[in-house]
Structure 1
Amino acid sequence: MKADREQNNLPLRAGAMLLLAVAVVFFGLAWHSAASGGDDPEKELAEAGAKLPAASLSTSVAATTSSSATTTKAPSLCVFNAGTVAGLAGDVATELEGKGFTVSEPANLTTDSITENTIFYDSGDRSAAQRVSKALGGSVSVEARPDVFTECPDGMPVIVVTR
């Protein structure tokens, strides 16, 4: 009877041993991966780039260069007069156009919440907004566009209050 029980448990033992062997293999692979994994992603990127053919590398560099050139160009500017000086938005728009910026038709903005000259920028446009501020003498505040400011949705708002 004891022999019958041992014979009935033989497939169970074999399955348990197989599972144990698979677990050991997976543990070994995980350890090997962790031990030999690269800690320097930039080095790995450089090594991968070295393996690319020269034509492929020059194409990707040209594509990177052209895409970064388009991100540095300032978007169209919308100049708003939020102050009491008549014609201020028009004067500032003319000044910015003279410095090479693309400017839409100036307009008035009625608000009590903006009390200083301000440029609102969208994500990724901070450096462009800083260039506009510098073109205006650097005394213009540069801030992320609040969600509630919906004027000039396709451009960069320049709000002027004083000269």
Structure 2
Amino acid sequence: MTTERETNRLPLRAGAMLLLAVAVVFFGLGIHHLTTSGDNDESAPATSAAVSAPVPAPASNTQAAPAASGKVCVVNAGEVSGLAGTVTRTLKEKGFTTAEPANLQSNSLNENTIFYHPGQEAVANEVNTALGGGYSVEQRSAGQTKLPACTGGVLVVAVNQ
């Protein structure tokens, strides 16, 4: 009679062990996600593809210099919701050609910064002036791989207002 009871418990034990193994795997995945989120975001390059889409220049503007000087990409790297959209609207109103605003999943930047490629410093300074002059203007280096591409344009990283 004891052997009959033992064989009936075998599927129960196997099910419990399987459930325990699944719980351990999910716990490990949760810990991995918590410890690595923000360190190596793969979502930033995906966002940059949308940001770097070409935007046609407006047909006619009273401020021809900003429109002719290239595209401006704006990303929100701060905690203020909608900041990139606000900055993008401001630049559009001032005659700049802008890409879709996006979010930057990085905590490595803590000040408003405008990044430009070689030969675009004047454009970056125009953007800074249009935004009230509160941005740091820096040339983009090859080592800044976590920033969106913004091909052919100036990148505005907005952290706070």
The TM-score, its normalising length taken from structure 1, stands at 0.54
Q: Residue 128 of structure 2 aligns with which residue?
A: 133
Instruction: Quote the RMSD (CA, aligned, Å).
Output: 2.1
* Runs (5+) with no aligned partner, structure 2: 1-63
Mark the CA change 1:140 to 1:70 in structure 2 (over 3 Å): closer, same or farther. Answer: closer
Instruction: Please give the secondary structure, in 2, of the residue aligned with 1:139.
Output: coil
Amino acid at match of 1:127: A
**1:154 aligned residue (149, 152, 155):** 152
TM-score, L = length of structure 2: 0.55
Counterpart CA distance in 2 for 1:131 and 1:147 is 23
- Is 1:83 aligned to 2:78, yes or no? yes
In the aligned structure 1, how far is the partner of 2:97 from the partner of 2:134? Answer: 20
Q: Which contiguous aligned blocks of 4+ residues in structure 1 show a shift greater than 2 angstroms? A: 69-74
**Same amino acid, percent of matched pairs:** 47
Indicate how the Cα distance of structure 1 residues 100 and 71 shifts in structure 2: closer, same or farther if over 3 A, else same.
closer
Q: Name stretches of at least 5 consecutive residues in structure 1 with no aligned partner.
A: 1-68
Deviation at 1:71, TM superposition (A): 10
Q: Structure with the greater relative contact order (CA < 8 A, sep ≥ 6): 1 or 2?
A: 2
Greater percentage in helix: 1
> Radius of gyration: which is bigger?
1
Instruction: Tell whether the 8 Å contact from 1:118 to 1:143 is kept in structure 2 after alignment.
Output: yes
